[in-house]
Amino acid sequence: MKQIKRFLSAWLLITVLAFTGSAPSYAQQGKTQAQPAQESVRSVVAKQAALVSEFEVNGLKVLLKRREGSSTVAAGLFIRGGSTNINAQNAGIETLMLSAATEATTNFPRAKMRTELSRMGTVIGSSSNNDYSVLSLGTTRMQFDRSWQIFTDVVLRPAFTNEDVSLVQKRMIVSLSDDTDSPDVYLQKLQERVAYAGHPYVNSTSGTPESIGKLTPDDLRRYHTKLMETSRLLLVMVGDLNPNEVRDLVAASFGKLPRGTYKAENVPALAFDKSTVEVTPRELPTNYIQGLFTAPSLTSPDIYAMRVASSLLRDRVFEEVRVKRNLSYAPDAFLRTQAANVGGLYVTAVDANQSIRVMLNEIARLQSQPVSADDIHAVIAQYLTTYYLGQETNAAQAGELAQYELIGGGWRNSVDFLEKLSAVTPGDIQRVTQKYMRHIRFVVLGNPRSVDPNIFTGEAG
């Protein structure tokens, strides 16, 4: 274990330095590993924070992370609110509006926009989740100026023609209508109904075939007008850009938007008072199973220990369920990043009862038996290496900054967590697993006869 820890810690250091733009050459790596004290965790955190500029333009908060020498630029205009912006009747309107906006604008009709974007290799897209949505831009530094013109036109002057809206609408309805065809997709839908009942998240930002089908171009125009106020928006940019020049660009494009009076609602935490299991019959070769438990938000001090605990549980579940018993090909334990957060278990297995019994036993072991400090250090190193490898692109870094700014207590927490993870103790692991990994809401898609509710709810002898 000590050898694993040393290897992962050395690789983590190289990865973190690469992420901050100061990675050594392969010829220097041996020297870097031999002298890790030269780059302390605190200095890495300070270096990351120093790359970010923040300022406001007419109430619009802007975060700019400058990566000198980067050949690409990523930008995202984020809209606060997510599920709290919608209701059961208009669910999906934000997703439809953003997707239709990227089809054509007043100054760039469909054919012209596609020709220009293709010529430059620029991508403009959109996405939504429970907490916020985004219009995104990805381009090269050389093509940034023209790409920015098109991007701002998408934001401010979408065409919403009948043809464009109808095209996107039909595409979304087809996608939503075949959700039950994929067991994994259907499982997530079933899980959301159980876990989010009575919560704002129950109104899916994807909508339903019925809610999407009722929306008109005029509905989208009214909704767009409602959202285009700077109090609702956050602009994040990552690339080799000058802060003063960016400020001028933002003022010229978004500076005349109304400020509005929007104030983000505090999304209520999820609360599960007991373990449950709901089975949806489906003739399948195996059972698809997922269970959710409540988890700390990104703003909670518990999130750091919970990340380590979830990684430990994932590794142990894989070892016990797949490697030792061959009960499932891909068992998993996970932790999400939502304002009202959850973690959980996932497995596909013919023997549902034995698989869940083993997974629940691993939770009980984490709750009752202290984890060694060496195991914690190794898991932290592995977690951070994977994390920073996933943050190599400008787009990923823009998304991370936005996530923490919107629901994580501020963008600085996206770099400060490195120190806080390293402070997690064995006692912290036991405390958070006892506090959160309980009252699991299970859903099963498969054979009802293969499910013993007493095992799933932890009541079996």
- Per-residue pLDDT for 11 more than 90? no
Q: Which helix (H) or strand (E) holds 97?
A: helix 93-101
453's CB contacts (< 8 A; 6+ apart) are 277, 459
User: Rounded to an integer, what distance in angstroms lies between the CA atom of residue 124 and that of residue 105?
Assistant: 12
User: Rounded to an integer, what distance in angstroms lies between the CA atom of residue 291 and that of residue 107?
Assistant: 48
- The predicted pLDDT at position 41 comes to 63
Cβ–Cβ < 8 Å for 142, 213: no
Among 3.40.50.150, 3.30.830.10, 1.10.760.10, 3.30.70.1090, name the CATH number for the domain at 276-456: 3.30.830.10
Cβ–Cβ < 8 Å for 67, 51: yes
Read off the pLDDT of each residue in 51-69 and give the average, rounded to a whole number.
96
Size of the chain in residues: 461
73's CB contacts (< 8 A; 6+ apart) are 137, 138, 139, 140, 141, 144, 147, 237, 238, 239, 240, 241, 394
86-90, 263-267, 288-292, 296-300 — which is least confidently predicted?
263-267
User: Rounded to an integer, what distance in angstroms lies between the CA atom of residue 335 and that of residue 397?
Assistant: 19
32-36, 296-300, 404-408 — which is least confidently predicted?
32-36
pLDDT digit string, tens, across residues 273-305: 999 999 999 999 999 999 999 999 999 999 999
- Joined together, the tokens standing for residue 122 give 């620029």
Q: Where are the CATH 3.30.830.10 domain residues in the chain?
A: 52-254, 276-456
Average pLDDT of the chain? 90
Superfamily of domain 52-254: Metalloenzyme, LuxS/M16 peptidase-like (3.30.830.10)
The span from the first CA to the last CA of the chain, in angstroms, equals: 35
- Check residues 451 and 26 and name the one with the higher pLDDT: 451
Return the closest-CA partner of residue 345 out of 396, 385, 387, 293. Answer: 293
- The predicted pLDDT at position 13 comes to 40
pTM over 0.75: yes
User: Rounded to an integer, what distance in angstroms lies between the CA atom of residue 363 and that of residue 361?
Assistant: 5
- Per-residue pLDDT for 235 more than 80? yes
Read off the pLDDT of each residue in 372-401 and give the average, rounded to a whole number.
89
- The predicted pLDDT at position 17 comes to 39
- Check residues 24 and 339 and name the one with the higher pLDDT: 339
